[in-house]
Amino acid sequence: MCGIIGYVGKKSVLPILQQGLKRLEYRGYDSSGVAILENGRFKVVKQPGKVDKLNAMLNTQHLTGNLGLGHTRWATHGKVNEANAHPHWDCQRKIFVVHNGIIENYKSLREELKKRGHEFSSQTDTEVIAHLIEESYAGNLEAAVIEILPKLKGTYAFVAACESEPGKLVGVRLLSPLILGLSDDGYFLASDATALIDETRVVVYLDDGDLVVAEKNGFKILDFQGQPKNKSSLEIKWDFASADKQGYPHFMLKEINEQPEVIKRNIARYVTSGRIELGIEESFLKQAKHLWIVACGTAYHASLVAEYLIERWAKIPVTVDTSSEFRYRDVVMEEDTLFICISQSGETADTLAAMRLAKKMGVRTLAVINVEGSTIAREADAVIYTNAGPEIGVASTKAYIAQLFILQLLGLKIGLVKNIIDEQYYNQYLEELYKAPLYLESMLANSRRIQEIAEELWMRSNFLYLARGMNYPNALEGALKLKEISYIHAEGYPGGEMKHGPIALIEKELPVVAILPQGRVRDKMFSNVLEVKAREGKIVGIYTSGDDEVKDVCDFGIELPPVCEELSTLIVPIPLQLLAYYIAVNRGCDVDQPRNLAKSVTVE
């Protein structure tokens, strides 16, 4: 892991690799490097640290050439240093490889190769690929790659190049994303479309078991046995201008402010003449007697909100799992289960594996995905796109709101087709959803107040987030956001669980973010706030405007518009995101690229 870019064609490769690596930064990384074929020999430049540092070094090299490989690395095997950065090569420095994924049997392969005289220059699992190709190479790179594939166990997307075939790249995909970009000037291989969007919008999404050979004048796609395959190309519809900062200091702040537009976009796409149209047959939803949702990270928190809403509206049981845990349980699912996968990227390794397991069990699958054409979207029985647009900040913001909104539409739709909610409630709630962008805009307009709170609390080393009911998942999400970008320890807990352990942590001045909008659990949550107050904790209250009882006990207050409990789940994330953002900025943290995190987790 984490990002691949390769090019072969008529244009100078260096600026393509430099721009591609910059575009891949959002995925998270700790080092980067390139290999460029110049005058028949590969020149390699790689180092730990930021891509800007690498590009500054490359700008002094004046490298020319029309073929090259680039990579951003997120360490899985070996320390973060120059030797372990990609690209990697064979003993003769003629075969070069960049790789995402994990070669699970690399240790045994490495030992076997050493016994046969191979010398290694890194600690990585990737390097064994180059040495295996070296052993099998007999003048045809794709033939050598095909020969070694049965020896590799694990997940991988890799691209290989060889000095002996100076106009050829060979790419392979198995359980890790890889796409082919097409243009009049050449061909691109990349781990996602963001790396090549400046050069082309026409792409071929490779599937597991695909091998692509790209040359200056054409390409071919084969299976792992070398048999030709036919694949259709697609046009990327989104504009990468939306992934520029556009005057904001950070992508994260820009993306927080884009959230009202994200909801407007989804209303326009999925609500027509007062009816929710998700592009799914009503029978697909009506037949479901149990929903099983899997996701990771922020998407998991969106799933937990959906659990509350759908059980309330549709009166059917909902089970929510983290994808990584679902895969290794002895799960029992009935045939009438609808299995829902939520992923921003559509490439999350554990979620993809969970969906494939569910399909083997014979249940129907529905994907809630942001990236069109992604693997999960292609393999699911049905898909709903969240239309958040490119999200560059590693910490998810607008993708989360988009997931929450889509899940609200889905819950309402299921409740209606099952005749659990009536037309009157459906229409009334839909009218409230139409107003959601205005409510979000009102919260964003209050960002100065949240900035002031952050200026008071940014030096604290521990935070506690409390909520009850359907906003409890938002407490988890608020704590996660703070952890991700400010490196402050934070925990989210149900208010009712406070006395079962966390209350021991509450002491004078401990910041406690308490979420208690109006609703059925407001009074219970207020009792928890009073318990914090009695122990002199510092209360940051997020409550409904006009609730003076809560306001009077809070050290810091953030007011919400007077909406129903269900709709508040869409609005509460805004102040939580802004609070985390401003605390991180005050601490001088890298908000868009926090340490050790990757945007798209494509390995287990």
Annotated catalytic residue: which of 2, 162, 296, 589? 2
Annotated catalytic residue: which of 22, 94, 168, 599? 599
Nearest to 131 by CA among 172, 163, 160: 160
To 5 degrees, how large is the angle CA 602–CA 297–CA 72? Answer: 35
11 is catalytic: no
DSSP state of 399: H
> 266 is written with which tokens?
């989804």
341 is catalytic: no
Q: Is 419 helix (H, G, I), strand (E, B) or coil?
A: coil
Nearest to 124 by CA among 86, 175, 158, 153: 86
> 153 is written with which tokens?
């166990």
Q: Is 353 helix (H, G, I), strand (E, B) or coil?
A: helix
Non-local (6+) Cβ contacts of 339 within 8 A are 292, 293, 294, 333, 355, 358, 359, 363, 364, 365, 366
> 358 is written with which tokens?
């569910």
Nearest to 368 by CA among 346, 391, 396, 398: 346
> 152 is written with which tokens?
């590799």
Contact (CB, 8 A) for 490 and 583? no
Whole-angstrom distance, CA of residue 262 vs CA of residue 372: 16
> 470 is written with which tokens?
């359907």
Contact (CB, 8 A) for 295 and 323? yes
Alpha carbon of residue 148 to chain centroid: 31
Catalogue the active-site residues. 2, 599
